Chains A and B, each alone.
Chain A
Amino acid sequence: MSSEESPKNSGRAAAPVQPEKTSREPSSTRSGSAHPERSSRGASGGSGVEGPLEGSVEVGADAAPALIALEEIRRTYHVGGEEVRALDGVSVAVGRGEWVAIVGQSGSGKSTLMNIVGCLDTPTSGRYRLNGTDVRGLSDDELADLRNKEIGFVFQTFQLLPRSTALANVELPLVYRGVPRRQRRELAEEALVRVGLEQRMHHRPNELSGGQRQRVAVARALVGRPALLLADEPTGNLDTATGEEIIGLFTELHEAGNTIVLVTHEPKLAARCPRAVRLSDGKVVADGPGVEVASLQLPRAVGT
């Protein structure tokens, strides 16, 4: 994976990035323990496509400190009397410091899964524990607080407030956390520096390029130092080169110890992630190293 991303990445953002999480240590434990485990499972996932569902349940069970633990998650919608199973028994566990891509055809349930992981939506059945807390029992306010503290969202359409400056946009999560003004500003500036936008802090979204807007969004996701970064097709509205920049940014964040879950359509992008999960019709059909899962051709996955 590093062979593909390093040229772009090391050239552009080596300077601004400082590992800021409790960083090196969890990331090293991750590569020490979690990684081998995963790659072994990934191998099995690569060989037999039916396997991964049970495999991931096992991981969920034995990896106690998993940040995300999804068990038999179902999410059904009722459209005109018909039942749509957007998620149909998904069990996935993601440890701290992992970078997981979610791939799958359009309509396979990727966004639905992201919404549940992000506590924006609740499953129809199944159990979801974030950082050990069962989300089911939480009130709406508690969910809002959880999103505020534990989760940083990056959206395909950026979702910046048009009338606010980059700085004000980045400050927003801290406003809802009650961080005093001065401190808010400092943290937001820090986050913008981190994504390489120190020159654009007082620009409004319409004065920024698409890539810059997405950087603002990434800064906003980072500013509260959440446990988890969730990105639903963050490069979907960007051209290839700009998309690469953003992916470079994610790579840096991953290396700094952040946990990232990223939805993507692009096999090339998924291939660069250490781990990828493929969904099809609301079911996990593959879970393993990005390169392997990405290379699975869709017709094969659907066929089995």
Chain B
Amino acid sequence: MRIGRAISELVEGLRIGLGALAGNRLRTLLTTLGIVIGVMTVIAIVAIIQGLNKSFADQISGLGASTLYVSKHQWLSLGDDWWTRRNRQSIGRRELKAIEEGALLARAVAPQIGGRVTVSGNGHELSRVSIAGTNAKYLETGAGTLRAGRFLVEADVDFSRNVVVLGADVADQLFPGLEPEETLGGRVRINGRGFTVQGVMERRGSFLGQTQDNNVFVPVTTFQRLLGSKRSMQIAVVGSPEELSKLEDELVGLLRRVRRVPPEKPDDFSINRQEQFLKIYRQLTGALYGVAVGVGLITLIVGGIGIMNIMLVSVHERTREIGLRRALGARKRTILVQFLIESSAVAAAGGAIGTLLGLAVAQLVALVSPLAAAVTPSAVALGFGFSAIVGLIFGSWPAWRAANLDPVEALRWE
């Protein structure tokens, strides 16, 4: 009987609360506007962050997790002062050779030098194509996979051959309509010099609106012959995941020796890892999350106050009804629950609308900007549940007031 009573009271509370909402649709809608906007903002931001996460994860997989990158500067570092950076000696073949010969823990070593070139062939011309000078080990650093043909081989580097492996976009644009296999052996010109196509890379897609496939790969020796050898190179060194730190120590020793860094001086080179990107990225998205949480909290509080306001009005309007219910045997608790259900239902309805709008906004942003959008069910549940809790919290004072109305006064109220 007690459980039966609790259930029937709850059902009644639900019926009353929802009935009251349905009876005042416009008012309810306006009331929930604060919650709607709050939840919408948070859902949109979260959707965008999650979209970013996804494409970033795809992107970062291009940097091998157990690969160290030796370069002149530290990646993403804004702290190094300009003067020391400028005066560092370039990293070049000397370092490459030292690592290739001396790093016992290295599984693969691949140099990378980059630049922009004009590529033409088959009657088409593409400007500002990324070019990378590298060697046969490049694919082992986790930077991509081959679609057709072969990648560079040692002999290409040794003899500084004019051979090229095309990125997917370049292959498509120079040889539209041709399968990658059909472009093999084709002739292209890079900055006016003739090259033979040896392979075509698998498509990698785009990141933050930038295509990752508008590039060509040539032997590092050819690159230097073509574009000069002053440019500093980056050397990717693949180690085993467990011994990455040891490998780093080994590299530091080798490099200091070959670059003749006096013992008291700090390193004049930097060893980077994929993790650094992750770290920076996490800081960035952490800040975004912070904004989302801040905006969400503020708007939810504003929305909650709106709900409190409307619930006070609702209690006021229904004073007589409350008195009547009390006269007919409703306990204080019953009245309390009735109004709590009402306020959390209003808020949850606002949350639901806000969630839908937020998803729509995120999709829109993804359409018109390079940002991606992805939504996990947990975000939706969070938006919904969060607003219901806001309804509960901000509805509790009005509900408490309703429950503690004096039945006699309430019945006499007009």
Contact = CB atoms under 8 A, between A and B. Distances in A.
Contact of A153 (B1, B2, B321, B328): B328
Contacts of B321: 161
Interface stretch (B5-13, B65-73, B87-95, B156-164): B5-13
B241 interface: no
B123 interface: no
Contacts of A172: 325, 328
Interface stretch (A32-40, A113-121, A268-276): A113-121
B294 to A, nearest CB: 41
Contact of B5 (A121, A153, A159, A178): A178
A176 B19 contact: no
Contact of B4 (A118, A148, A178): A178
Contacts of B19: 163
Most central of B5, B19, B23, B323 by chain A CB within 10 Å: B5
B374 interface: no
B1 A176 contact: no
A176 B330 contact: yes
Given A148-B329, A175-B8, A176-B334, A115 B408 contact: yes
Nearest to B321: A161
B320 interface: yes
A73 B411 CA distance: 22
A186 interface: no
B9 A175 contact: yes
Nearest to B334: A176
Given A144-B331, A145-B329, A176 B411 contact: no
B332 interface: yes
A159 B323 CA distance: 9
Contacts of B407: 120-121
Contact of B329 (A147, A180, A181): A147
Given A159-B411, A175-B9, A118 B325 contact: no
Contact of A120 (B327, B330, B333): B327
Nearest to B330: A176
A172 B19 CA distance: 15
B326 interface: yes
B25 to A, nearest CB: 13
Interface string B1-37: 1101111110010000001000100000000000000
A43 B211 CA distance: 107
B367 to A, nearest CB: 44
A121 B407 CA distance: 8
Contacts of A224: 329
A144 B4 contact: no
B389 interface: no
Contact of A176 (B320, B323, B329, B408): B329
B4 A180 contact: yes
Contact of B328 (A121, A141, A148): A148
B196 to A, nearest CB: 83
A177 interface: yes
B329 A159 contact: no
A179 interface: yes
A177 B5 contact: yes
B366 interface: no
Given A159-B324, A177-B5, A178-B5, A120 B329 contact: no
Interface string A12-40: 00000000000000000000000000000
A191 B145 CA distance: 82
A42 interface: no
Interface of B: 1-2, 4-9, 12, 19, 23, 320-321, 323-334, 407-408, 411
Given A120-B408, A178-B5, 19 more contacts: A115-B408, A120-B411, A140-B332, A145-B329, A145-B331, A153-B327, A159-B320, A159-B323, A159-B324, A161-B321, A172-B325, A175-B8, A176-B325, A177-B5, A177-B329, A178-B1, A178-B6, A180-B4, A180-B8
25 contacts: A120-B408, A121-B407, A140-B331, A140-B332, A144-B326, A144-B330, A144-B331, A144-B332, A147-B326, A147-B329, A153-B327, A159-B323, A159-B411, A161-B321, A161-B324, A163-B19, A172-B325, A172-B328, A175-B8, A176-B9, A176-B328, A176-B330, A178-B2, A179-B4, A179-B8
Interface of A: 115, 118, 120-121, 140-141, 144-145, 147-149, 153, 155, 159, 161, 163, 172-173, 175-181, 220, 224
